[in-house]
Amino acid sequence: MKSCLPLEMGKANLDVFSETLLGLARANRDVVVVTSDSRGSGKLVPFAKALPKQIIEVGIAEQNLVGVAAGLASAGKIVFAVSPGSFLTARSLEQIKNDVCYSDQPVKLVAISSGVSYGALGSTHHSLHDLAALRALFNCTIVVPADNFETAEAVKAAAEMAHPVFLRFGKRPMPHLHRPGTTFTVGKSLLVREGNDLAFLATGETVVQSVMATDLLAQEGISARVLSMHTIKPLDEEAVVQAAQECGAVITVEEHSCAGGLGEACAAVLMQAGVSVPFRIVGFPDEETVPGTQLEIMAHYGICPEGLAETARTLLNRKRL
């Protein structure tokens, strides 16, 4: 059984993204960044200072951002289009649909400060719709890394991809979740904790919340599995079905609306596979998000160790009935 290692804190995934991207760009002049008013907030200042000819700032013009990125990609450049998630996937959805996905341009769409990272700035700045919107577009891989390792590997994998890809990052420092030697593959989930009583299928910054919940549950003799579902599309359907069959209860966790995200994707997989288990989606309900910091908002909706542990207890009680 994989031991519950203490969580060692690392950097914010966004910092790791920027550092990895700079390394790729230094090695290959065709790697370019297009950004919309995000040099500072996007941690791209070092990139701009080191490689000023490989970064384009379009200003507060997200639709132009995607159009310019698609044009550069069509000319053979390896393009990372960086913008706050709430604006990238709302203001530019038509351009993502037509200029990138339908035109099959291998743009790497990078959403920064996603989910409720902007905290008290409120629902206008919260990105809780993006996974649902992009899942509905064909030809778009969606990756939401959970820690620094997944982030670095996802950026390197995205640079090599010949089709559109969407990378989603938050702002907080993240703990290291994986052992040395772990292999990252787009489309294949990663086991973070072993367990057989129930399974947490989590993505992005909710994975660590799920891990901490398993530590609380372990004190009560409850064995909980945690999978990092870093790729939302294509989803690791085999792992979803296996977790349900082996654990008999499933909780999905996401910093996203309960509508159209990881939870509904997993539910569809299980229903179509004919696997019936106690199941719960933990995410954001259909309402305006409450004010507060990112962690305060997440805790309000039960996306915290204590909240997830309570959801697990409730689901296990249902399982025993």
DSSP for 220-284 reads TT--EEEEE--EEES--HHHHHHHHHHHS-EEEEEEEESSSSHHHHHHHHHHHHT----EEEEEE
pTM > 0.75? yes
**pLDDT digit string, tens, across residues 263-321:** 999 999 999 999 999 999 999 999 999 989 999 999 999 999 999 999 999 999 977 76
Q: Is the pLDDT of residue 234 over 70?
A: yes
Regarding whether 203 and 140 lie in a shared domain, the answer is no
What is d(CA 38, CA 229) in angstroms, rounded to the nearest whole number? 27
Asked if residue 4 is part of any domain, the answer here is no
DSSP summary character for residue 203: -
Domain of 63?
A: 11-175
Regarding whether 126 and 26 lie in a shared domain, the answer is yes
For residue 138, count CB atoms less than 10 angstroms from its CB and return exposed for 0-12, middle for 13-18, buried for 19 or more: exposed
Asked if residue 5 is part of any domain, the answer here is no
Regarding whether 25 and 166 lie in a shared domain, the answer is yes
Task: Choose between 6 and 171: higher pLDDT.
Answer: 171
Asked if residue 99 is part of any domain, the answer here is yes
Asked if residue 3 is part of any domain, the answer here is no
Asked if residue 182 is part of any domain, the answer here is no
Regarding whether 44 and 167 lie in a shared domain, the answer is yes
Q: Is the pLDDT of residue 5 over 50?
A: no
Q: Is the pLDDT of residue 39 over 70?
A: no
Q: Is the pLDDT of residue 222 over 60?
A: yes
Catalytic site includes residue 94:
no
Q: Is the pLDDT of residue 4 over 70?
A: no
Q: What is the CATH number of the domain that holds 91?
A: 3.40.50.970
**pLDDT digit string, tens, across residues 129-152:** 999 999 999 999 999 999 999 999
- State mean pLDDT over 92-120: 97
pLDDT level of residue 7 (50, 70, 90 thresholds): confident
> For the chain, how many structural domains are there in total?
2
Average pLDDT, the chain: 95
Scan for tokens 């990238």, then name that residue.
88
From 19, 62, 254, 264, the catalytic residue: 62
Asked if residue 1 is part of any domain, the answer here is no
Q: Is the pLDDT of residue 174 over 50?
A: yes
Regarding whether 105 and 30 lie in a shared domain, the answer is yes
Regarding whether 223 and 90 lie in a shared domain, the answer is no
Regarding whether 192 and 169 lie in a shared domain, the answer is no
Regarding whether 250 and 139 lie in a shared domain, the answer is no
pLDDT at residue 321, as a whole number: 62
Q: 60: which 2 tokens?
A: 């507060």
Regarding whether 164 and 104 lie in a shared domain, the answer is yes
pLDDT at residue 8, as a whole number: 85
Q: What is the CATH number of the domain that holds 288?
A: 3.40.50.920
Regarding whether 233 and 154 lie in a shared domain, the answer is no
Share of the chain above pLDDT 70, in %: 96
Regarding whether 214 and 158 lie in a shared domain, the answer is no
pLDDT at residue 223, as a whole number: 97
Q: Is the pLDDT of residue 257 over 80?
A: yes
- State mean pLDDT over 229-233: 98
What is d(CA 311, CA 292) in angstroms, rounded to the nearest whole number? 22
Asked if residue 106 is part of any domain, the answer here is yes
- State mean pLDDT over 156-176: 96
pLDDT at residue 209, as a whole number: 97
- State mean pLDDT over 11-38: 95
Q: 247: which 2 tokens?
A: 């654990």
| Domain end residue (candidates: 135, 155, 175) | 175
| Domain end residue (candidates: 129, 147, 175) | 175
| Domain end residue (candidates: 175, 197, 230) | 175
Regarding whether 163 and 50 lie in a shared domain, the answer is yes
Task: Choose between 37 and 130: higher pLDDT.
Answer: 130
Contact 207, 181 (CB under 8 A): no
Share of the chain above pLDDT 90, in %: 93
Asked if residue 162 is part of any domain, the answer here is yes
pLDDT level of residue 6 (50, 70, 90 thresholds): low
